[in-house]
Structure 1
Amino acid sequence: MKNNLSNGTKLILLHPYIQKQGGSKSLKLLAFISFFTLVFLLTLIYTRESITKGTSISVSTISASFRSSPPLPKSVVRALVHYASNSNNTDRMSNTDIKQISDVLKQCPHPCNFLVFGLTPETLLWKALNHNGRTVFIDENRYYAAYIEEKYPEIEAYDVQYSTKLSETKELIASVKDQVHNECRPVQNLLFSECKLGLNDLPNQLYEVEWDVILVDGPRGYWPEAPGRTAAIFTASVLARSKKGGNPKTHVFVHDFNMKVDRVTSDEFLCKENLVKSKDMLGHFVLERMETSSTQFCRNHPTSSGAASTS
Structure 2
Amino acid sequence: MKNTVNNGSTKLILLHPYVQKQGSSTRLYWLIAAVSIFAVASLLTFIYTRETFTTTTVAAVTSITTAASTHNHHILPKSVTKALIHYAATTNSSDHMSSTDIKQISDVLRQCPSPCNFLVFGLTPETLLWNALNHHGRTVFIDENRYYAAYIEEKHPEIEAYDVQYTTKISELNELVTSVREQVRNECRPVQNLLFSDCKIGLNDLPNQLYELDWDIILVDGPRGYWPEGPGRMSAIFTAGVLARSKKGGNRKTHVFVHDYKRKVERVSSEEFLCKENLVKSSKDLLAHYMVERVTEEGNSHQFCRNHYVRAT
Using structure 1 for the length normalisation, give the TM-score: 0.71
Q: 1:67 — aligned with what?
A: none
- Structure 1 Cα separation of the partners of residues 129 and 137 of structure 2: 13
User: Which residue of 253, 256, 259 corresponds with 2:260?
Assistant: 256
What's the secondary structure of 1:97's corresponding residue? helix
Are positions 1:291 and 2:303 aligned together?
no
Q: Does 1:304 align with 2:308?
A: no
1:106 aligns with 2:110: yes
- Shift of the 221–81 alpha-carbon distance from structure 1 to 2, 3 Å rule, reads closer
- Please give the secondary structure, in 1, of the residue aligned with 2:165: coil
* 1:1-311 aligned within 5 A: 80=84, 83=87, 87-280=91-284, 281-293=286-298, 294-305=301-312
Shift of 1:87: 1.7
CA contact 1:169–1:230 (8 Å) conserved in 2: yes
Query: 1:84 offset after TM fit, Å?
Result: 5.7
What per-residue deviation string (whole Å, max 9, x for no partner) do you get for residues 144-174 of structure 1?
Answer: 0000000000000000000000000110010
Q: Secondary structure at the match of 1:146?
A: helix
CA distance in 2: counterparts of 1:168 and 1:297, whole angstroms = 20
Change (3 A) 1:250 1:81: closer
Q: Deviations over 1:98-128 (max 9, x none)?
A: 0110000011111000000000000000000
SS at match of 2:282: strand
The one-letter code matched in structure 1 to 2:310 is T
After superposition, the C-alpha distances for 1:211-230 in whole angstroms (9 at most, x for unaligned) are 00000000000000000000
Which amino acid is 2:126 matched to? E
Residue equivalent to 1:48: none
SS of 1:254 mapped into structure 2: strand
Write out per-residue CA displacement over residues 225-275 of structure 1, whole angstroms, 9 at most, x where no aligned residue: 000000000000000000000111100000000112210110000000000
Question: What is the CA–CA distance in structure 1 between the aligned matches of 2:135 and 2:194, rounded to whole Å?
Answer: 28
- CA-to-aligned-CA distance 1:58-109 (integer Å, 9 cap, x gap): xxxxxxxxxxxxxx9xxx89x9599469622211000010011000001111
Task: Give the residue type in structure 2 aligned to 1:291.
Answer: T
| Counterpart AA for 2:180 | V
CA shift for structure 1 position 131 = 1.3
The TM-score with structure 2 as length reference comes to 0.71
Greater than 4 Å deviation, 4+ residue runs: 79-86
| Higher mean C-alpha deviation, range 208-217 or range 293-302 | 293-302
- SS class of match (1:111): coil
Task: Confirm or deny: 8 A CA contact 1:112 1:133 kept in the other structure.
Answer: yes
Gaps spanning 5+ residues in structure 2: where? Answer: 1-75
Residue 21 of structure 2 aligns with which residue? none
Distance 1:228 1:119 in 2: 15
Query: 1-side partners of 2:148 and 2:125: how far apart?
Result: 13
SS at match of 1:231: helix
* 1:224 partner amino acid: P
Counterpart in the other structure of 1:40: none
Letter in 2 for 1:278: S
Distance 1:250 1:80 in 2: 24
Give the C-alpha shift of residue 302 in structure 1.
3.0
**Aligned residues with identical type, % of pairs:** 76
Distance 1:85 1:277 in 2: 20
| Change beyond 3 A, Cα 1:152–1:120 | same
Amino acid at match of 1:225: E
* Unpaired stretches in structure 1, ≥5 consecutive residues: 1-71, 307-311
| Pairs aligned (count) | 232
Q: Which residue identity is paired with 1:301?
A: H
Q: Determine the C-alpha separation between the residues in 2 that align with 1:283 and 1:85.
A: 18
Cα deviations by residue, 1:194-219 (Å, 9 ceiling, x for unpaired): 00111000000000000000000000
Comparing 295-304 and 240-249, the one that deviates more: 295-304
